[in-house]
Chain A
Amino acid sequence: MSTATHTLAQHGPEMRQDPVQRKRRRMRPGAVVVAVLRYIALVISAVLFLLPFYLILRNSVSLDTDITAPGWTLFPRQIQWANFAELFTDPSVNILRALANSAIIAVLQTAGMLLLCSMAGYGLARIPYRWATPIFYAILVTLMIPPAVTFIPSFIIVSQLRWVDTYQGIIVPVLFSGFTTFLFRQYFLNFPRSLEEAARVDGLGYFGAFWRVVVPNSLAFFAAIAVITFIASWNAFLWPLIIGQDSSMWTVQVALSTFLTAQTINLHELFLAAAVSIAPLVLVFLFLQRYLVQGVAETGIKG
């Protein structure tokens, strides 16, 4: 439903002003100048935004002597494909382990959060239980305290559970997001009731209606939340830094940060590791950008 309004809103104004010819005839010289200035500003901004990505790519396939050379070379004199082999075989830099840790944590965190928060959101939105409202308020209260401020309390409970240096220690405490549950509740409140009633007539309970009717008809919303959660999880730093203390539990962000601070690693290796660490997200970005944009518009405005 929100998808529908979103796309409508996006195309509405354009359709209205559509008759291109009328527009062209009216375009005065002043308007042309404004349009040209707009595009110049857009192109300059685009160059600035892409610059850091260019630096990562350039340095990751260069020799250290080229990176540190006094004169700036736009591209490496020769692309050093050997840097890949060097990075992945360097015993002091276990980047593959870090990438695997990040992937395991991000996938499980995304799946777990979708499962727990969507079910909780549906229950709060649709099941008329007498304690539903007080429980919803108890969840709302947690929205006022950002998780980063509670990292010490959370660390205390994880250490009591002896979950330091474990996957569950990094994954589980982050799953119970009041905010995601809140978003799911708001979404399910707007879900067309007629579909669920049809499921009722077919003899399904709440559980069956949710899994067979509601979830299959809400995949766009699930995808939007999933993409946002995955990116946040992959890029998370403070919590994995505190819980994953042993080098075998480092995520790729913690590993990069350690190499950056210690500087025991070649420049080109560090930049190549950075490039490898953002590659999965750039892929997510390219293929799922529609859901990402929707997710940002959806989650941001209600925050």
Chain B
Amino acid sequence: MSAPTLMAPAANTAPPRRRAKGRIAGVTGAFWLFVGPFVVGLVIFVFVPIIWSVVLSFSRAQNTVTPGDWVGLQNYIDLLQPGPFLDSLITFTIFAAFIVPLTFALSLGLALLLNGVRILRAFFRSVYFLPTACSYVVASLVWKLSVFNGVRFGLANTVLGWFGVDNIAWLATTDPPWYWLVIVTVRLWLQIGFYMILFLAGLQRISPELYEAAAVDGARNSWQTFRYITFPQLRATSVAVLLLLLINAYQAFDEFFNLLGNSSFARPPLVYLYYTAQFNQDFGHGTAGAVILALLIMVVTLAQGRIFGFGRAE
């Protein structure tokens, strides 16, 4: 919609058009016609905001987004003291320790199960993939008001009731921390199908000759085939899945916000930043927190690239 103004620089740098309109002969003009609008948008909506926030993170910026009241590294020092920001990183760590291995194992398991059957395979694949169409808000709603609502008519308590177990107030119980069960299962349900598709695609790429060769070499049971053929062949997929899972867990917001709100016992980094910047209008600490999170995620991405050679070798 803002295309006409965005394309202005393209018009300036373009050499005179030689033939009928619509035909742009010059390489420079053509390049900016294609790439210019995107680059201008990227500068305005990605690069400028990032630079602005880095500057703002060294300012006291309460109820304002204008830098000027310099405080040096004070915002960073405040955040790195024991307090809610560091707690939020601990919350993320606990969350990732559950969600990353569980999603990995379950989605790989489902992909292997599906890959070994022929009848109704497309049907089952669709069923497991269907939650991808559901939002975190809707899933949180079902989990909070129906499955784990903590009263008698909730599904989980109904099922437990058949075995004589008392009602459990899932989201309100901190000892044992049952709320983790709610938080982790909602994301498991939503994302297993997605990663299962990635593993299925990886499994389809394994050459059948490898399995024939393994059979000739004496691989008898399916565990040996998995251990020596399937899993090593899935290396690139596995590395990509692990990194995606970790980065997505790092950005968890929707289900924490909708299930627990601003509760102090499980507040991941983005929820903390949301309440700091949007709710308390403290943009100095908010931007400093965003810078720290962005740096952490860049370190993880680069380290992963170093260790696994970007995992894209295939």
Quick check: A181 and B38 within 8 Å, CB to CB?
Answer: yes
State which of A151, A206, A242, A300 has its C-beta within 8 Å of the C-beta of B24: A206
Task: Verify if A33 is at the interface (C-beta below 8 Å from B).
Answer: no
B198 cross-chain contacts in A, Cβ below 8 A: 296-297, 300-301
Task: Identify the interface centre among B38, B53, B278: most chain A CB within 10 Å of its CB.
Answer: B38
Label chain B's interface by main secondary structure: helix
Task: Verify if A83 is at the interface (C-beta below 8 Å from B).
Answer: no
Contact flag A155-B278 (CB < 8 Å), given A237-B254, A297-B197: yes
Task: Verify if A256 is at the interface (C-beta below 8 Å from B).
Answer: yes
Closest residue of chain B to A236, judged by CB? B135
Interface segment, one of B78-86, B87-95, B96-104, B112-120: B112-120
Quick check: B251 and A207 within 8 Å, CB to CB?
Answer: no
State which of B145, B197, B247 has its C-beta within 8 Å of the C-beta of A293: B197
Quick check: B38 and A293 within 8 Å, CB to CB?
Answer: no
CA distance A260 to B143 in the complex (A): 11
CA distance A51 to B128 in the complex (A): 11
Task: Verify if A94 is at the interface (C-beta below 8 Å from B).
Answer: no
B27 cross-chain contacts in A, Cβ below 8 A: 127-129
Quick check: B274 and A238 within 8 Å, CB to CB?
Answer: yes
Query: What bracket does the count of chain A residues touching chain B fall in?
Result: 35 or more
Quick check: A152 and B257 within 8 Å, CB to CB?
Answer: no
State which of A39, A176, A256 has its C-beta within 8 Å of the C-beta of B137: A256
Quick check: B208 and A16 within 8 Å, CB to CB?
Answer: yes
State which of B28, B33, B38, B52 has its C-beta within 8 Å of the C-beta of A157: B52
Closest residue of chain A to B39, judged by CB? A135
Interface segment, one of B68-76, B169-177, B291-299: B291-299
Inter-chain residue pair count (beta carbon < 8 A): 299
B48 cross-chain contacts in A, Cβ below 8 A: 157
A181 cross-chain contacts in B, Cβ below 8 A: 38
A35 cross-chain contacts in B, Cβ below 8 A: 117
CA distance A50 to B144 in the complex (A): 17
Chain A positions 167 through 190: 1 when the CB is less than 8 Å from some CB of chain B, otherwise 0: 010001101101001000000000
State which of B133, B153, B236 has its C-beta within 8 Å of the C-beta of A281: B133
Contact flag A123-B142 (CB < 8 Å), given A146-B251, A152-B290: no
B interface with A by C-beta (< 8 Å): 1-2, 22-25, 27-28, 30-31, 33-35, 37-39, 41-42, 44-50, 52-53, 56, 65, 110, 113-114, 116-118, 120, 124-147, 151-153, 155, 158, 189, 193-195, 197-198, 200-202, 204-205, 208, 236-237, 240-241, 243-244, 247, 250-251, 253-254, 257-258, 261, 270, 273-274, 277-278, 283, 286-287, 290, 293-294, 297-298, 301-302, 312
> Given A144-B301, A145-B298, A204-B23, 9 more contacts at CB 8 Å?
A49-B189, A149-B294, A150-B290, A176-B41, A181-B38, A237-B137, A271-B145, A277-B138, A296-B132
